[in-house]
Structure 1
Amino acid sequence: MSKQEKIERRILLLSLCTGILFVIFEFIVAIYTKSQAVLMDAAYDASELLMIGLTLFLIPLFHRSISEKHPFGYAQIESFLVIIKGFMLLAVTLGLSANSVEVLLSGGNIIDGRLISFFQFIIAISSMIVLIIMLRMNRAISSPIVKAEIYGWKIDVAYSIGMGVAFFISTLLVETRLAFITPFFDQIIAVLIILFMLPEALKMLLRAIKDVFLFSPEKETMEEIKDICGGILGDTELNDVFYDVTRTGRRMWVAIYFEVESEYIHVQTMNEITLKINNALSKRFEYCVCELILAKNE
């Protein structure tokens, strides 16, 4: 087992164990307070735990080398996992949103805003501690799975603080003219969580679908690749004319079609340029391989 694989496993285990504790407490508080917002939070976190457990089991496959039998290695499994995760999040979102709307239309419900606010601030502080530990562990590696997990914890911290502040504000409205909102406040927060999470889930799902079908990555990634490679080719006699970029999971293949003004080009020169480009790309992208292809003259 490589060093990177060990660190990935440790980070995901930390996320899994702490996530299980959070979900247990979230479901307890959701049942006790009858809060749709807390229930929504717990359901999202529970779906995340299922994916973390499956990812832990499959991590060794992601590090296997490509072969003639598996030209893309097992990288596409990562994309399929993300697709499954995306559909799970969408299913949870639609199911709980329907329940929230039903409660909203039936007149809402009164909840203990102070208790939920206090609980969310505790979750936010705990999540921040876990996030800091994960960031320190992640310094030595570059892993798409870990980056996605860290991003998820950042979101957890952000909306736990947001929910804590929101429910604290709801307790202040009881003595004001806006007291009529308090029975519906929980459902309003739940809907806001849906609006906050849904775009990211759709974005993650669409990216994974593109990776499965081996489409080129998003425009920002393409521009970054062209900047890195173009900067190196600009100092040579090779003129880049077309970039063919394929990505699936954590692996990416870059084929640069080029033209040359002279009639001949040394193989040694080609090898040196290719090595330089691959070294530059490897500093930015994990498992990225580049090759230079002479474009045919029409």
Structure 2
Amino acid sequence: MSSPRPATPLASGSFFDLGDERGVLRISIAVTLLISALGIGFGLISGSYSIVFDGVYSLMDASMSLLSLVVVNLIASHTVSKDLPRKLAERFSMGFWHLEPMVLGLNGTLLMGVAVYALVNAVASLLAGGRHLEFGWAIVYATLTVIACTAIAIVEARANRRIRSEFVRLDVRGWIMSAGITAALLVAFVAGYSVQGTEWQWISPYIDPAALALVCVLIIPLPVSTIRRALADIFLVTPTDLKAHVEKVAQDFVGKHGFLSYRAYVARVGRSRDIELYFIVPPDRPARRIEEWDSLRDEIGEAIGGEGPDRWLTVVFTGDPEWAE
């Protein structure tokens, strides 16, 4: 039997509400699109491939954030308000949690792929003798971007202390990455500007592709943990900590009520926790009223904890062990 799901309304507020997961993602998308436009524009003006890459990377990140926002809306609509079109609700009666790890995995894979492609181009540019660029425009862009990325990362991190969203946490990490990447570019551009008119001016054409290659080398491994976590959720790999907790609760419950044994099945899919518990009751146990069995279900649900719209708990009592296998 599934645990009851509170029918509280969706969080209301402004379109860019920092108290709501979707509001934070909307802010992130808006700022990302602005930075992307600046990056592509300044990159073309200054002739910097690294800045163009930064803009394209931001545009890709914004598209993934938009997809994340769609998934968050679907999850919230299904688990909280039930405000879904009838046909959609019928086709996805088990909810939309499974979309979350898919989006996170796709996000990490695409960002990694973009970085690998940019690294190949950077190496090719270095081998071809580098590329000249306008360092003044590049420095202006890098300064503005570092300030913007740092500010939005701080704002989102503070908001997520209460929201506790995996999407927002990943987004904060992305902003920190962007700030660090652009800060590295800023250092490179300042160095390139400072050597103009000196005996070291010959290195100027190599600064932009070298900075881009370094940035890509740093970026490529970062989404690995996100992809690994997403794949674990997609393949329903049992989380050891949750499994241990459920096993302990079930063992204590069996001993307290004199049942024969139990079977526990646990999975995590995105933000949801799927828990199925089967308790083997002695066949000669006297019959109980439905209210008594429901009371036992409430007891096990309280012992497991974490009741809410993202917990899917099924508790079954049977005298036949085959039903639990």
TM-score normalised by length of structure 2: 0.70
- What SS does the aligned partner of 1:75 have? coil
Equivalence for 2:304: 277
Residue matched to 2:75: 62
> What residue is the counterpart of 1:204 in the other structure?
226
Q: Equivalent of 2:40, from 27, 41, 45?
A: 27
CA distance in 2, matches of 1:106, 1:158: 27
Secondary structure of 1:225 counterpart: helix
Query: What code does the residue aligned with 2:270 have?
Result: G
Uncovered stretches (5+) of structure 1, i.e. residues with no partner:
none
* 1:150-176 Cα deviation digits (max 9, x unpaired): 221122222222322233234445577
- Alignment match of 2:272 (pick from 238, 251, 272): 251
Q: Which residue of 2 aligns with 1:79?
A: 101
Residues 1:36 and 1:138: Cα distance change in structure 2 (over 3 Å): same
The RMSD of aligned alpha carbons is 3.9
- Once residues 180 and 278 of structure 2 are traced to their aligned partners in structure 1, the CA distance between those partners, rounded to angstroms, is 44
Corresponding residue to 1:100 among 122, 138, 150: 122
Name the structure with the higher helix share.
1
Q: Is the 8 A contact 1:255 1:290 kept in 2?
A: yes
**Do structure 1's residue 121 and structure 2's residue 163 form an aligned pair?**
no
Q: Distance in 1 between matches of 2:181 and 2:316?
A: 48
Question: How many angstroms does 1:43 deviate by?
Answer: 1.4
For 1:210, what is the secondary structure of its paired residue?
helix
Q: Would the alpha carbon gap of residues 273 and 190 (structure 1) be closer, same or farther in structure 2, given more than 3 Å must change?
A: same
Name the residue aligned to 2:310: 287
Give the deviation of 1:226 after TM superposition.
5.5
Q: CA separation in 2, counterparts of 1:121 and 1:53?
A: 26
Paired with 2:21 and 2:30, the residues of 1 have a C-alpha distance of: 14
Structure 1 CA distance, aligned partners of 2:102 and 2:173? 19
Q: Does 1:215 pair with 2:236?
A: yes
CA shift, 1:143, in A, is 1.9
SS at match of 1:187: helix
8 Å contact 1:245–1:255 — kept in the other structure? yes
Partner of 1:167: 189
| Separation in 2, partners of 1:255, 1:75 | 17
**TM-superposition CA deviations, 1:209-243 (whole Å, max 9, x none):** 3322x3316xxxx35436755786798758x9987
What do residues 18-45 of structure 1 show as CA deviations (whole Å, max 9, x unaligned)?
1111111111111112212212211111
Cα pair 2:116 2:220 within 8 Å, conserved: no
Q: Is the 8 A contact 2:43 2:51 kept in 1?
A: yes
Q: Secondary structure at the match of 1:199?
A: coil
Aligned position for 1:44: 57
Paired letter, 1:3: A
- Aligned partner of 1:129: which letter? A
In structure 2, the CA distance between the partners of 1:16 and 1:243, relative to structure 1 (3 Å rule), is same
Residue in 2 that maps onto 1:156: 178
Q: Report the more deviating stretch, 120-129 or 109-118.
A: 109-118
Q: 1:275 to 1:18 in 2, by over 3 A?
A: same
Q: 1:3 maps to what in 2? A: 11
Partner SS for 1:108 = coil
SS at match of 1:73: coil
Give distance in 2, aligned partners of 1:127 and 1:23.
12
Where do 1:139-154 residues align within 5 Å? 139-154=161-176
Q: Which amino acid aligns with 2:267?
A: T
TM-score, with normalisation over the residues of structure 1?
A: 0.76
Percent identity at matched positions?
A: 20
Q: Indicate if the aligned counterparts of 1:274 and 1:291 stay in contact, CA closer than 8 A.
A: no
The count of corresponding residues between Structure 1 and Structure 2 is 288
Structure 2: 5+ residue runs without aligned partners? 1-8, 83-88, 286-291
Q: Which residue of structure 2 lines up, in the alignment, with residue 13 of structure 1?
A: 26
Distance 2:33 2:101 in 1: 24
Of structures 1 and 2, the larger Rg is shown by 2
Provide the secondary structure at the position in 2 that maps to 1:246: strand
* Aligned residue identity for 2:217: L
Q: How far apart are the structure 1 equivalents of 2:97 and 2:195?
A: 52
